Amino acid sequence: MEKTSMYPDPIEYWSDKRICLTGGSGFLGSFVQEVLAERGAKEVFIPESKDYDLTKRDNIIRLLEDAQPDMIIHLAALAGGIGANRARPAEFFYNNLMMGVPLMHEAWKAGVGKFVAIGTICAYPKFTPVPFKEDNLWDGYPEETNAPYGLAKKMLLVQAQAYREQYGFNAIYLLPVNLYGPRDNFNLETSHVIPALIRKMIDARESGAEQVVLWGDGSPTREFFYAGDAARGIVLAAERYSGEEPVNLGAGMEISIKDLAELIAELTGFSGEIVWDTSKPNGQPRRVLDVTRAKEYFGFEAQMPFRQGLQQTIDWYLENKDNIA
């Protein structure tokens, strides 16, 4: 049982906080909004990208003047699957670096009380021992297809620790694993693996196609983390954790892409053949986190069973697919 007495009362903690939630209107951000509201946050400023291009310093300064935040939760990112990372590596590096590093710098200058930086599992070395422990973050170069993105986001950890050491700035760094859930991005050009598989298999079932073609050979393993759980972990860390060490956020599970594809085929009712295009890259061989720190440091454990989370994601897509590009 969680020992709540060691933590602040959430309603009391959040009631007078002004929070700036970058990326708040996106997939993960929509869940973070819900958790903040549940825990008593009343003032949450959500900058829209059309109004605040966070790759430009003048817009960052204007954002801080407009929001006057006590805390920034920085979710905003240019992200996508292997295909998008391979097609646009320079954009993935520049945009993520320039959204994050100047934002943290200006937040420190403006006297913001806390900065919650959201990193990425892509920051880990390509051949990290499984399960990934935070202490292994610097033991090698990231997997090549998403290294520019992973390294750009990893610089926020370097910055957070340097600003804490020199300035006493309270910046924390969290590493969520691959997310999924309702409201995800189902665009086949830019989506991650679960929404892509769901869309491909439902399209194939509805069109009567006899097969779907998937990238790689199906052998890599991944951990998948329900976005609602991720949001709860982020908010608990924002509320309860103020340390220098990076912290993994995940469910502590592992499944091969082949088994994932077969499970999604079952849940979507696709009975055709799954064909693996081995001319396409697999990505990182294995990916699963050690999630001990999150439980020890701020009492977080994932709750959503994987099959149930997948079914909720599929149901959401079926209800909304006519409005998805």
Strands 255-256, 221-222: pairing is: antiparallel
C-beta separation of 15 from 67 below 8 A? no
Give catalytic residue positions.
149
Beta bridge partners of 212: 274
SS3 content of the chain, % helix, strand, coil (to 5): 50, 15, 35
What is d(CA 221, CA 277) in angstroms, rounded to the nearest whole number? 17
Distance of CA 167 to the CA centre of its chain: 28
Strand partners for 117? 74, 173
Q: Copy the structure tokens of residue 11.
A: 């309603």
Rounded Cα gap, residues 266 and 205, in angstroms: 11
Q: Which two tokens stand for residue 175?
A: 């590493």
Closest CA to 154 of 116, 109, 118: 118
Give CA torsion, residues 308, 178, 22, 144, to 10 deg: -160
